[in-house]
Amino acid sequence: MELQMAADELKSVINRLKRAQGQIAGVINMIEQGRSCDEVVTQLAAASRALDRAGFAIIATGLEHCMAPENGEPDMDRDQMRARLEKLFLSLA
C-alpha cells in the first residue's frame, strides 16, 4: 500500500517525525551523559507522543487511501473495513 498525501499534510508528518528523531537523539545523549531517570523518561515520553501523533496524522489524512483495496484485493465490506481500521489504530496503541 502506497502512502499518498497532499504535500502540506506530508510536510506536517515529516516535521513531527523529525522532531521525534531529534528527541530520540536527545534521549541517547542524556543516557550517555548519565542524566537522571526523570529527565530521560520525560524526553522519551515526548518522543513517543511525537511518533504517535505522526501515526495518527497519517491515518487521519490518508484514511480513505489507506482503506482502499490493494492491487488485486477485492472490495471490503463494512465489517472487514472496520476490522482493518481497528488494526491500524491498535498498532499505535
As a whole number of angstroms, the distance between CA 66 and CA 55 comes to 12
Write the pLDDT tens digit of every residue in 45-80.
999 988 988 888 777 776 666 566 666 666 667 777
Q: Considering Cα of 57, then 62, then 64, then 66, what sign does the dihedral take? A: negative
Question: Nearest Cα to 66, choosing from 42, 35, 89, 34?
Answer: 89
pLDDT score, position 24: 95
Instruction: Select from 23, 29, 55, 56 the least CA-distant residue to 42.
Output: 23
* pTM score above 0.85: no
The number of helices, as runs of H, and strands, as runs of E, in the chain is: 4, 0
Q: Which residue has the cell 506530508?
A: 10
Q: For position 64, what pLDDT does the model report?
A: 61
